Structure 1
Amino acid sequence: MDFKPCNSCGSCPVAWDNFKNLTEAQIKEIDASRFEAKYKAGEVIFKQGSPTPNAVFMASGLAKLYLETDEGKRVIIALVKPGRLIGGPGIFIDNTHYFNLVAVKDSTVCFIEMKMLKKMVHDNGDFAEGFLRDISIKALASLKKIISFSQKKMNGRLAEGLLYLSDQVFNSDEFNSCLTRQEIGELTLMTKESTVRLLKEFDEEGILQVRGSNIKILDKERLAKIMQSG
């Protein structure tokens, strides 16, 4: 869906659900502290270690949220779709980004001043509860992924990653992942070489049809069994 600039977060078709807890006057305060920016695929939206003067809201496109280790290895935490607010754990600790956010598709992003969101947290209990719930859901999803992947072999991790793309990112069994083999490996904690090999095996076994970045899941039941038995 193409994103058309909105005059207000209250009328945005992909607005963060928690904004519904704000009054009309509070929405106007948010609007006054908000600005939009467009990013081409591959452009950095924010960098790990940089300050967090603003929260980031995905209005259109797709971005990858990833952690980079001191050794230069990357782990993709999630793919970020429109409707998600990205703040990170540093918001209320040291005002530092602990992840990188990079556009995977051409994207439109809204920046909202953190001091304004913090004001809403102090002034509006329902908004504060919604903010905590949002942070908790994301933290729990990351924890579940770490636990799940630590208990799986490579084929199980790839299967889980593909089902994540199908069910939670693209909502379809056939999609253009917009990801390189390297990035799929970073999403599933594997090397590029292992990712290429397993995708080819899944294709040859009739589980998938893989054509470049286009992936079609042919046998979802079998893929789910590989994930579970991983």
Structure 2
Amino acid sequence: MREGNNRTCQLCTHGWDNFKNLTTEELEIVNEHRFEAGYLAGEIIMKQGSPCSNMIFLASGIGKAYIEGIDGKRIIIGFLRPGDMLVGPGLYGNNRHNYSLSAITNLRACFIDSAIIKEMVIKNGKFAEGLIKDISFKAENTFQQLLNLTQKKMHGRLSDGLLYLSNELFKSDNFKCMLTRQELGEFTNMTKESVVRILNEFDKEGILKVNGDQIQILDMEKLEHISISG
């Protein structure tokens, strides 16, 4: 981890959208209670069960949020990109982070005192509504992911994961997958071996082309059909 504040909230090009609802004075208060740190790929930024003393915002890079379960088994519940905020029900619940966050790429993260965010929620109705919308959006996605992981077969789950990586995370049908096969398994609720097997099947069927870390989706329509049919 590398420490230091290299920017301000006012000048940040990857700030959380909801900060636009703050007044100039309120944003200055947030900036005064902000701490920025850099992380290398693979480093843990936040541990499940740790206190919600700070809100975490991604300024650059890509991170993964995951739940740690029985016998160390992990389920990846989402990915963070610049401008995203990490918050969970623990902020107004048990005051604990409900999942862990680690760096997939080198990244920089901003930590802002949770007490300051709660103060803004009380003072600024638009900011409070923006926070509720953000939490609600993440909850809806988690519910849909839970449904997919428990009711779809493996081919459908892996298709869902590949479509998310293509459409949402990398925004390209030809991308360098920064996730290991183990991480793809943690994201789609299957073993690493099953991920490798189904990727090979998709490759042989001409649905996609796999060359090491590089994945190119050749037949988006067919991949979407597998995703829907489960």
Q: How does 1:168-183 map to 2 (within 5 A)?
A: 168-183=168-183
How far apart in 2 are the matches of 1:192 and 1:85? 29
How far apart in 1 are the matches of 2:213 and 2:33? 38
**Which residue of structure 1 lines up, in the alignment, with residue 213 of structure 2?**
213
Count of aligned positions:
226
Post-superposition offset of 1:8: 2.4
Q: Which amino acid aligns with 1:224?
A: E
The yes-or-no answer on 1:38 pairing with 2:45 is no
Q: How does 1:107-118 map to 2 (within 5 A)?
A: 107-118=107-118
Post-superposition offset of 1:6: 5.4
Q: Which amino acid aligns with 2:138?
A: K
**Which residue of structure 2 lines up, in the alignment, with residue 21 of structure 1?**
21
Gaps in structure 2 of 5+ consecutive residues:
none
Post-superposition offset of 1:213: 1.7
Give the match's secondary structure for 1:90.
Answer: helix
Post-superposition offset of 1:219: 0.6
Q: How does 1:79-118 map to 2 (within 5 A)?
A: 79-118=79-118
RMSD: 1.0
How far apart in 2 are the matches of 1:228 and 1:218? 18
**Which residue of structure 1 lines up, in the alignment, with residue 66 of structure 2?**
66
How far apart in 2 are the matches of 1:42 and 1:48? 16
Give the match's secondary structure for 1:215.
Answer: strand
How far apart in 2 are the matches of 1:61 and 1:117? 23
Post-superposition offset of 1:19: 0.4
Answer whether contact 2:207 2:217 (CA < 8 A) is retained. yes
How far apart in 1 are the matches of 2:154 and 2:148? 12
**Which residue of structure 1 lines up, in the alignment, with residue 194 of structure 2?**
194
**Which residue of structure 2 lines up, in the alignment, with residue 52 of structure 1?**
52
Answer whether contact 1:8 1:27 (CA < 8 A) is retained. no
Give the match's secondary structure for 1:52.
Answer: coil
Post-superposition offset of 1:119: 0.4
How far apart in 2 are the matches of 1:119 and 1:177? 40
Q: How does 1:99-178 map to 2 (within 5 A)?
A: 99-178=99-178
Answer whether contact 2:157 2:188 (CA < 8 A) is retained. yes
Gaps in structure 1 of 5+ consecutive residues:
none
Answer whether contact 2:175 2:216 (CA < 8 A) is retained. yes
Give the match's secondary structure for 1:55.
Answer: strand
Answer whether contact 1:62 1:105 (CA < 8 A) is retained. yes
Q: Residue deviations 1:178-230, cap 9 Å, x none?
A: 11100000000111110010011111111111112211101101000010111
Answer whether contact 1:10 1:19 (CA < 8 A) is retained. no
Answer whether contact 2:66 2:77 (CA < 8 A) is retained. yes
How far apart in 2 are the matches of 1:197 and 1:210? 12
Q: Which amino acid aligns with 1:206?
A: G
How far apart in 1 are the matches of 2:177 and 2:102? 15
Q: Which amino acid aligns with 1:50?
A: S
When structure 1 is superposed on structure 2, of 140-149 and 156-165 the one drifting more is 140-149
Q: Which amino acid aligns with 1:55?
A: M
Give the match's secondary structure for 2:41.
Answer: coil
Post-superposition offset of 1:11: 2.3
Give the match's secondary structure for 1:67.
Answer: strand
